[in-house]
Amino acid sequence: MIKVVRGNPTPEELAAALAVVRARAAAATIVPPGAATRPRDSWSDPSRLATHAVPQPGPTAWARTYWPG
pLDDT above 70: percentage of residues in the chain: 62
Which 8-state DSSP code applies to residue 68?
-
pLDDT of 1 strictly over 60: yes
CA angle 35, 41, 44 (to 5 degrees): 130
- pTM comes to 0.42
Q: Would you place residue 2 in the very low, low, confident or very high pLDDT band (cuts 50, 70, 90)?
A: confident
pLDDT of 16 strictly over 70: yes
Contacts of the segment 57-60: beta carbons below 8 A, 24+ positions apart: none
Q: What is the pLDDT of residues 22-52, one digit of tens each?
A: 999 888 777 766 666 677 777 777 777 776 6
Is residue 22 within 8 A of residue 41, CB to CB? The reply is: no
CA gap 17, 31 in Å, rounded: 24
